[in-house]
């Protein structure tokens, strides 16, 4: 049984309740920027996830503002492949964000533990993430940090895009103004590295980088230090996937490399990328097994064969040349008999 998350705030030990509503039950995970708790929504009686700043960063106004901005950016989104945000508030424990509780592992962790995904799985998950990005872009939101570790795979394999912590929206004053580089370096677009103004095509590039790594087993660019890795994408496109993994079909290579075009104008938008990935998944999915009306069984040594009850009836056989000659002979005999009978009748009449 899970023990309640407790605190000695104000000198009284007991469960931590944020905003007189969300009771923290269990710490699910902690990183450098935030910690996530399982919590009980006392008003609605449902289990939720609550995101908090780590204790040593709760007085950092910049981090607190970023967490609020994440909530405000994600709250306007309603999509089956985006983690839903329910509430945001402040408490003596700092700013908190209330989200839907999902169970699973990140796409990155899944690949590290289970190996590279199959082609169809990569295309399906990529298509669903791209559809989530298309929805965000329609709302004027650029995620800015798309990578396999920000995609959660549920137990049934459904992806959920999360962590809009550095997202930039037209409706929310952001912390990531032009000229400031933010994001995960291995997946940054060239324009993101240059600190330029971004649109949805930057997220398309980042998703392309993610698919590249998942299909080949290595990131598209490598180097000594983040600066070198970032600079490489400014000078050249990545090595074609098939030069690294020849088994990758050329259709997959084309879609991924178009998403990673150096010039953002040469990339598809997220909705187009989603459709392309769906088409690839359909093309390479194994066809469902089909039941045959006739069971084929090897012939017996004596030339016979077994026949099932539901086998199709035999088609009429074409008469052979020998059988035709036999039929003609019979007809001649019959005609001869008839002619002889006619002669006999004529003789009797006389």
Domain containing residue 184: 104-284
How many domains does the chain divide into?
A: 2
130 and 79, same structural domain?
A: no
Residue 227 maps to which CATH number? 1.10.510.10
The reply to whether 181 falls in a domain is yes
Beta carbons of 28 and 2 less than 8 angstroms apart: no
74 and 109, same structural domain?
A: no
The reply to whether 334 falls in a domain is no
Q: What is the pLDDT of residues 241-250, one digit of tens each?
A: 999 999 999 9
217 and 81, same structural domain?
A: no
Question: What's the mean pLDDT in 327-343?
Answer: 50
Residue 14 maps to which CATH number? 3.30.200.20
The reply to whether 340 falls in a domain is no
Closest CA to 48 of 85, 6, 3: 85
Q: What is the pLDDT of residues 114-137, one digit of tens each?
A: 988 999 999 999 999 999 999 999
The reply to whether 158 falls in a domain is yes
- Min mean pLDDT across 34-38, 102-106, 200-204, 292-296 is at 292-296
Q: What is the pLDDT of residues 176-203, one digit of tens each?
A: 443 444 558 899 999 999 999 999 999 9
Residues in binding site for ATP: 51
pTM above 0.75, yes or no: no
Task: Check 63, 145, 163, 203 and give the catalytic one.
Answer: 145
Q: Is 56 a catalytic residue?
A: no
SS (H, E, C) 265-316: HHCCCHHHHHHHHHHHHHHHCCCCCCCCCCCCCCCCCCCCCCCCCCCCCCCC
The reply to whether 295 falls in a domain is no
Which residue among 40, 67, 100 closes a domain?
A: 100
202 and 169, same structural domain?
A: yes
């Amino acid at each position: 049984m899970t023990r309640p998350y407790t605190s000695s705030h104000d000198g009284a030990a007991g469960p931590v309740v944020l905003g007189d509503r969300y009771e923290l039950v269990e710490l699910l995970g902690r990183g450098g920027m935030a910690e996530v708790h399982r919590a009980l929504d006392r008003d609605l009686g449902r289990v939720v996830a609550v995101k908090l700043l780590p204790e040593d960063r709760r007085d950092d106004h910049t981090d607190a503002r970023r967490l609020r901005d994440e909530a405000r950016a994600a709250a306007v989104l309603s999509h089956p492949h985006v983690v839903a945000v329910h509430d945001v508030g402040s408490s003596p424990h700092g700013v908190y964000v209330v989200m839907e509780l999902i169970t699973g592992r990140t796409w990155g962790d899944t690949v590290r533990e289970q190996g590279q995904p199959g082609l169809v799985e990569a295309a399906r998950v990529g298509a669903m993430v791209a559809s989530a990005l298309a929805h965000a872009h329609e709302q004027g939101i650029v995620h800015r940090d798309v990578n396999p570790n920000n995609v959660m795979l549920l137990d049934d394999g459904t992806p959920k895009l999360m962590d809009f912590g550095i997202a930039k929206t037209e409706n929310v004053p952001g912390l990531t103004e032009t000229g400031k580089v933010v994001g995960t370096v291995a997946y940054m677009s060239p324009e993101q590295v240059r600190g330029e103004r971004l649109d949805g095509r930057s997220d398309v590039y980042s998703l392309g980088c993610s698919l590249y790594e998942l299909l080949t087993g290595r990131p598209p660019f490598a180097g000594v230090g983040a600066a070198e890795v970032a600079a490489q994408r400014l000078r050249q496109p990545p090595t074609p996937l098939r030069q690294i993994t020849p088994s990758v079909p050329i259709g997959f290579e084309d879609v991924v490399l178009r998403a990673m075009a150096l010039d953002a104008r040469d990339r598809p938008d997220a909705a187009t990328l989603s459709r392309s990935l769906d088409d690839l998944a359909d093309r390479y999915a194994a066809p469902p097994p089909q039941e045959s009306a006739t069971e084929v069984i090897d012939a017996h040594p004596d030339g016979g064969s077994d026949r099932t009850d539901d086998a199709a009836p035999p088609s009429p056989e074409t008469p052979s040349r020998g059988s035709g000659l036999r039929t003609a002979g019979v007809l001649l005999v019959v005609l001869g008999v008839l002619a002889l009978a006619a002669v006999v009748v004529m003789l009797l009449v006389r």
